[in-house]
Amino acid sequence: MSKLLDTPIEYLKGIGPAKGKSLRKDLNINTFGDLIEHFPFRYIDKTVILPINQINDAHSEVQIKGKLMRFSQEGAGRAKRLKATIHDGTGSIDLIWFQGASWMQNILDQGKTYLVYGKLQKFRNRYSIPHPEIEVISNLANAAALPTLAPMYPSTDSLRKKKLDGKGFRKLTKALIDQIGPNDVPETLPKYILDKTRLIGRLEAIKRIHFPASAKEKEQAVNRLKFEELFFAQLRAVHRKFKNYREIPGYRFEIIGDKFNQYFHDILSFELTGAQKRVLKEIRSDLKVGRHMNRLLQGDVGSGKTVVALMCILMAIDNGYQACMIAPTEILAMQHFVGMVDDAEKLGLQIAFLAGSVKGKKRAKILEALALGQIDILIGTHAVLEDPVVFKNLGLAITDEQHRFGVKQRSKLWRKSKPNPPHILVMTATPIPRTLSMAFYGDLDVSKIDEMPPGRQPVETVHFSESKRLRVYGIMREAIAKGRQVYVVFPMIEENEDLDLQNLQRGFDLLSNEFPRPEFDISVVHGKMKAKDKDYEMQRFVEKKTQIMVATTVIEVGVNVPNATLMIIENANRFGLSQLHQLRGRVGRGGGHSMCILITGFKLSKEAKFRIKTMTETNDGFVIAEADLKLRGPGDMEGTRQSGDLNLKLASLVEDEKILAFARKLAILIIEKDPKLEHSENDLLRKHIQTIGKKAQGWSHIS
């Protein structure tokens, strides 16, 4: 980027230290360049003006034009406010300022005509507009020169107080945009791509996205920038993937040996599904060729990923390597450990568990044995990634529920083995919509378990309001009478922890009354408990000593108690869709009829209703994941896109699936022809991904 765009934001005329500090803090705008890339999240069409008498409840925001008639200061102290009334010949409406009242009174003139834009508020059947954007019409006299679409920028309360509202940003950005030229905003796409895609140039796009002369110009600008964003992300991912193929050798697991065969023939108690067999073959073909494996294993909750993982571990061991498996929580890791311990023993293998709670001598012993190669399988949490944990020869690392692992952690795994990185298998239970998996895992090969073990019946899902609690108790009683077990799950979020804990406690008390000892017994597990106590309670449930498990979302992922057939989710409206799906996946594992009851109050938001409805209508994880993405994806608060890790400024994984798919296809085509991007026609591409690469952290030792 040019010197100009590298200039610290404080130096921009009209900003200065105070505003600069807020811009840095609130919006991560540190330089002129960042401001240029602070894109509008929508536009107001300056040509659409609503007559005041036509305003109704269907409008949330309006643009009106009228004469400013009357000022009045109202209230006192903190409630002090300025009211101004606008007339447009059809009616009148009040504009209200709670802050900066005297300033506004200074700059506004009675009798002049203004263009007013803002959010409507209704009080005692009269509309008003608090803190509107307001411009005197004489300033707009030269209307032809002005854009008809005025950009609206994401902002925050504290910035708005410093006059960095829509209008403020517009002014700053306009001044900056007028200064920039092709040297400041160099093209990133080679001509052949511009020709092929008919996209407009980068500088043009940047100018037009802020100040489009028409809706068409806006579209062109947005398309160009969205494409660029998605294309380079894909180009990097595909580039990395090809580079791995070419350059990163992997341990060669040549044989299918005794342990694998013994497990498959003598220990495994069920027939693998076709999907499990296919996936194992895919993995096997990666592992035997001496190339590094970097593979994502996708499969809905309950599809049987664990057994696949174990069989991969056995492949590693049969070829003389150690293997590890990492889960995001201690409970989950422990469960994998417990689930494998018997099989390991039968196979004569050494298996160990490592998590934060494993300390002192015990830990030291494990670390020593691990380094000496006396441990074949290590199961654990993030603790496995820590530096003192040294393997003798780690050949395979599996992570369960990868979405909770950051890129950094994934890269730590790579360094756990020399000379090659261990083969990596990433397992995820949440079905990932196609776009997400392209976007997040573009550099991984993907295997899918798309078939459930036989005999599974879909879980019947019903929605009950709190008033039907007695009926819920009845259903619980029935299940327990049949020897089945029940989960009762309460929400728990950090911001609300104390209250949530109280709710859980109250729920537990109610249940203890309803299902008293000694006839019944209840386990309780929540995030605030010590790991030891959690495990104890879990274990009692696993051993059927308790019939009911009251828990927070700690059981969300992975817990496997096939005898549990009833899942009750309290305050179900507070859970996200994929969370609900995960929770429901805890039942319906043993064959036979299972049920999931979603309990909520009467009043539900539109979104919550949609989530509950989706859950009661489908068991298909992919349908649910797509719905979830639709709900959360564009759920941007005032234009701030929640794209998390991906850092997408413009593109949306929901709306721009087509652009993404196209970008990926093109990226693959280019890399296939020119894997190292050495051809001169790809100079721009190579340079730009190097620039991006330098900015991105954590990947350096991978790519």
Footprint on this chain of Mg ion (rule: CB under 5 A): 558
The 548-551 sheet, strands edge to edge: 460-465, 595-600, 564-569, 485-489, 548-551, 522-525
Tell me how many degrees the CA angle 584-590-595 measures, rounded to the nearest 5. Answer: 40
Nearer to ligand ADP, 66 or 431 (CB): 431
Q: Are strands 126-130 and 121-123 parallel, antiparallel or unpaired?
A: antiparallel
Q: Does 303 bind ligand ADP (CB under 6 A)?
A: yes
Q: Does 306 bind ligand ADP (CB under 6 A)?
A: yes
Give the residue, chosen from 33, 66, 118, 302, that forms a contact with ligand ADP under the rule CB under 6 A.
302
Nearer to ligand ADP, 65 or 305 (CB): 305
Q: What does residue 289 show for φ and ψ, rounded to 5 degrees?
A: -95, 0
C-alpha of 167 from chain center: 32
Nearer to Mg ion, 244 or 381 (CB): 381
* Residue showing tokens 């591409």: 685
Nearer to Mg ion, 33 or 558 (CB): 558
Identify the CA nearest to 70 among candidates 55, 87, 53: 87
DSSP 528: T
Identify the CA nearest to 337 among candidates 312, 360, 309: 309
Q: How far apart are the first and last CA of the chain?
A: 23
CB 121 to Mg ion: min, Å: 49
Beta-carbon contacts of residue 267 (< 8 Å; ≥ 6 apart) = 343, 346, 347
Binder of residue 301, out of ligand ADP, Mg ion, none (CB less than 5 to 8 A by kind)? ligand ADP
Q: Does 298 bind ligand ADP (CB under 6 A)?
A: no
Binder of residue 154, out of Mg ion, ligand ADP, none (CB less than 5 to 8 A by kind)? none
Binder of residue 589, out of Mg ion, ligand ADP, none (CB less than 5 to 8 A by kind)? ligand ADP
Residue 385 token pair: 């990634």
Binder of residue 307, out of ligand ADP, Mg ion, none (CB less than 5 to 8 A by kind)? ligand ADP
Count how many Cα atoms sit within 13 Å of the Cα of residue 672 in the half-sphere of its side chain. 6
Binder of residue 526, out of ligand ADP, Mg ion, none (CB less than 5 to 8 A by kind)? none
- Residues linked to residue 598 through DSSP beta bridges, in sequence order: 463, 569
Give the residue, chosen from 19, 162, 226, 589, that forms a contact with ligand ADP under the rule CB under 6 A.
589
Residues 575 and 618: their CA atoms lie apart, in Å, by 17
User: Near ligand ADP by CB under 6 A, which window of 298-306, 462-470, 500-508, 545-553?
Assistant: 298-306
Are the CB atoms for 433 and 626 separated by under 8 Å?
yes
Binder of residue 303, out of Mg ion, ligand ADP, none (CB less than 5 to 8 A by kind)? ligand ADP
Q: Does 307 bind ligand ADP (CB under 6 A)?
A: yes
Identify the CA nearest to 392 among candidates 344, 327, 325, 320: 320
Give the residue, chosen from 304, 395, 422, 621, that forms a contact with ligand ADP under the rule CB under 6 A.
304
Are the CB atoms for 72 and 83 separated by under 8 Å?
yes
CB 541 to Mg ion: min, Å: 17
CB 133 to ligand ADP: min, Å: 51
DSSP 559: -
Nearer to Mg ion, 318 or 401 (CB): 401
Q: How far is CA 416 from CA 392, 425, 694, 699, in A?
A: 9, 14, 24, 16
User: Near ligand ADP by CB under 6 A, which window of 278-286, 299-307, 371-379, 481-489?
Assistant: 299-307
Nearer to ligand ADP, 177 or 307 (CB): 307
Q: Does 328 bind ligand ADP (CB under 6 A)?
A: no
Residue of minimal CB distance from ligand ADP?
304
Q: Does 562 bind ligand ADP (CB under 6 A)?
A: yes
Q: Does 268 bind ligand ADP (CB under 6 A)?
A: no
Longest CA pairwise span in the chain (Å) = 93
Give the residue, chosen from 40, 190, 299, 328, that forms a contact with ligand ADP under the rule CB under 6 A.
299
For the chain, how many helices (H) and strands (E)?
24, 22
Helix (H, G, I), strand (E, B) or coil at 29: coil
User: Near ligand ADP by CB under 6 A, which window of 145-153, 158-166, 176-184, 265-273?
Assistant: 265-273
Are the CB atoms for 234 and 438 separated by under 8 Å?
yes
Q: Could you check whether the bond before residue 190 is cis, i.e. omega within 30 degrees of 0? A: no
Q: Alpha-carbon Rg of the chain, whole angstroms? A: 30
C-alpha of 421 from chain center: 27
Q: Does 581 bind ligand ADP (CB under 6 A)?
A: no
Nearer to ligand ADP, 299 or 507 (CB): 299
Reported as type and span, the H/E element at residue 22 is helix 16-27
Give the residue, chosen from 65, 207, 210, 305, that forms a contact with ligand ADP under the rule CB under 6 A.
305
CB 180 to ligand ADP: min, Å: 52
Nearer to Mg ion, 558 or 588 (CB): 558
CB 330 to Mg ion: min, Å: 15
Helix (H, G, I), strand (E, B) or coil at 213: coil
Binder of residue 166, out of ligand ADP, Mg ion, none (CB less than 5 to 8 A by kind)? none
Q: Looking only at residues 396 through 435 of this chain, which bind ligand ADP when binding is defined by CB under 6 A?
A: 429
CB 302 to Mg ion: min, Å: 8
Q: Looking only at residues 270 through 289 of this chain, which bind ligand ADP when binding is defined by CB under 6 A?
A: 270, 272-273, 276
Are the CB atoms for 234 and 442 separated by under 8 Å?
yes
Number of residues that bind ligand ADP (CB under 6 A): 17
Burial (0-12, 13-18, 19+ Cβ within 10 Å), 125: exposed
Give the residue, chosen from 205, 301, 385, 476, that forms a contact with ligand ADP under the rule CB under 6 A.
301
Count of Cβ atoms closer than 10 Å to residue 111 Cβ: 7
Q: Could you check whether the bond before residue 518 is cis, i.e. omega within 30 degrees of 0? A: yes
Q: Looking only at residues 452 through 491 of this chain, which bind ligand ADP when binding is defined by CB under 6 A?
A: 453
Nearer to ligand ADP, 180 or 583 (CB): 583
CB 303 to ligand ADP: min, Å: 4
**Residues in the site for ligand ADP, rule: CB under 6 A?**
270, 272-273, 276, 299, 301-307, 429, 453, 560, 562, 589
